[in-house]
Structure formats: structure tokens, C-alpha cells
């Protein structure tokens, strides 16, 4: 599978989606240009899929990824982590060569 979400990540996304009104159809995961290393991850809610999207489903959660982002996300595992430093979504991407100091952008 090109993209994987852990059970904890799926639960957290569903929790946040449940607080939206109207409730979105699913989650979009994308790679966009920018950040100090060249690329960064983007996650946002979507009301509909695009014809160029690959759609995944995790325990009833629809996740949309456009074809351009898919080549950078192949094999990526997304988790939701909570620690003393804070909480958030963590991308474990085997395609990443380097990341910036803050960890929010990367190169492939």
C-alpha cells in the first residue's frame, strides 16, 4: 500500500472531523513545494474527491491523495503522537533524504 494511517491517526482524524460542520467527506494528504528543505506535507479536509485522486479507506475514513503527491508518499506511514513536547501527526516517509532542523519540510 502506498500510504498507511495508524489506528491512532485514524481515530484522531475522525474525532476532528466530527467537530466540523458540515462534516467533510474525507481527508486530503498532499506534498507541496515549500519549506526550507523544498517540500512539506499538507493535510486538510475535503468535501469531494478530484478525478485525479487515489482514494484510500481506513476504518471508514476516506483519504484522498493526488497522483503528483503519491510518488512522494509511497510507503509513508502516518501516526498521531502525543508526548511532553506536544502532539501531532508524524510522517514516517522512506523516500525522504533529509529534513530541515524543525522537521516540517524535507527533500527526496
Domain that includes residue 43, residue range: 3-96
Q: Quick one: pLDDT at residue 3?
A: 92
Question: Is the residue at 29 inside a domain?
Answer: yes
Question: Is the residue at 105 inside a domain?
Answer: no
Question: Is the residue at 106 inside a domain?
Answer: no
Question: Is the residue at 75 inside a domain?
Answer: yes
Of 4-8, 37-41, 45-49, 68-72, the range with the lowest mean pLDDT is 37-41
Give the number of C-alpha atoms closer than 13 A to the C-alpha of residue 89, restricted to the C-beta side.
Answer: 22
Is 90 exceeded by the pLDDT of residue 108?
no
Spatial distance between the Cα atoms of 11 and 59, rounded to a whole number of angstroms? 9
Write the CATH number for 79: 2.60.300.12
Q: Do the Cβ atoms of 45 and 13 come closer than 8 Å?
A: no
Our count of domains for the chain comes to: 1
**CB count, 10 Å around CB of 13?**
22
- Reported as a pLDDT band with limits 50, 70 and 90, residue 99 is low
| Angle, alpha carbons 89-7-94 (nearest 5°) | 55
Amino acid at each position: 500500500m502506498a500510504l498507511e494511517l495508524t489506528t491512532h491517526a485514524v481515530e484522531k482524524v475522525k474525532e476532528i472531523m466530527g467537530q466540523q460542520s458540515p462534516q467533510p467527506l474525507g481527508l486530503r494528504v498532499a506534498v507541496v513545494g515549500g519549506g526550507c528543505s523544498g517540500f512539506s506535507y499538507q493535510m486538510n479536509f475535503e468535501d469531494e474527491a478530484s478525478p485525479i485522486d487515489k482514494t484510500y479507506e481506513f476504518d471508514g475514513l476516506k483519504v484522498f491523495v493526488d497522483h503528483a503527491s503519491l510518488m512522494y508518499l509511497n510507503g509513508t506511514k502516518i501516526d498521531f503522537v502525543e508526548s511532553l513536547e506536544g502532539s501531532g501527526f508524524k510522517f514516517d516517509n522512506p523516500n525522504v533524504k533529509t529534513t530541515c532542523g524543525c522537521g516540517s519540510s524535507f527533500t527526496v
